[in-house]
A = this chain, B = another copy of it.
Amino acid sequence: MERLSSRDNPRVKHLHALAGSARDRRKHGETVLDGAHLIEAALQAGMPLKSVFVSETGLATAEIATLVDELPSATSLTQLTDPVFAHVSPVDSPSGVLALIDVPAQTAAPTGTTSVIVLDAVQDPGNLGTILRTAAAAGIRTAWLTPGCAQAWSPRVLRAGMGAHFKLELNEQVDALTSLASFPGRVLATGLSAGARPLYALDLAGSIAWLFGAEGQGVSPALQRRADQIVTIPMAEGVESLNVGAAAAVCLFEQMRQREFARASDN
């Protein structure tokens, strides 16, 4: 196994740039998966790893040694000294293993036939990753992200997503109004407005495009107008709103409950 011990090595510099810079990730169409869990999720999803990097300390752990043993035989594997690994690691506590991947190509004109989530300007990487994770868990297969969202394939969003990136068809820089024009189902947005109905009073069968917006602002007015129905999540008196990740969890799992568990419609 090749061993790199200098920060000046071109491959080390490239990894460091990808881990820390959205611009570099965009320019090269590549990103970095950090940690055994995420790399295993990528392998299970059949995603090719361009190269894998382990730290000396990482290789001594059972989890990473097992992962290395299970890599497809053609995978390029490189050892980094601990200081060099810490230098390229996107997190403060280096996990010990990184993989370089191509960011998957996305469909030019995203369409959805089953339910989709549309995330409008969700800028916080942790929130964005958590919502993708929740959506995948609730059986959603497609996510459209408007240009104001954080970069979906950044290390921080990947970490919060915990593998959801490999279970979703993920489209970034989506013009949501255009894509919704050909969406065959209903469009629902959370919010407060005249005509809003409580989540639990709605029949959530069939395809739904769920719109969730940035913390604070919510969904943009133009998108909000496109919604067929504004949905309120009933809350205790004196409470105004939920974190966008919590709101998404409540809505998407209510749809899951109605689909899988409701013996009779509440409507």
Contact = CB atoms under 8 A, between A and B. Distances in A.
A139 to B, nearest CB: 4
Interface size for chain A: under 10, 10 to 19, 20 to 34, or 35 or more residues? Answer: 35 or more
A30 B162 CA distance: 37
Contact of A160 (B167, B236, B243): B243
A158 B99 CA distance: 36
Interface stretch (A61-69, A171-179, A222-230, A246-254): A246-254
Contact of A137 (B133, B198, B242, B266): B242
A105 B235 CA distance: 27
Which 10 pairs, one residue from A and one from B, show the smallest C-beta to C-beta distance?
Answer: A200-B261, A246-B249, A139-B236, A249-B249, A137-B235, A137-B239, A250-B253, A134-B246, A130-B243, A200-B257
Contact of A136 (B198, B239, B248): B239
A233 B134 CA distance: 11
Given A201-B261, A238-B167, A250-B250, A245 B139 contact: no
Question: Assembly of this chain: how many copies?
Answer: 2
A201 B136 CA distance: 22
B257 A261 contact: no
B130 A246 contact: yes
Interface string A154-171: 000000101110010000
A242 B235 CA distance: 22
A69 B167 CA distance: 52
A71 interface: no
A261 B266 contact: yes
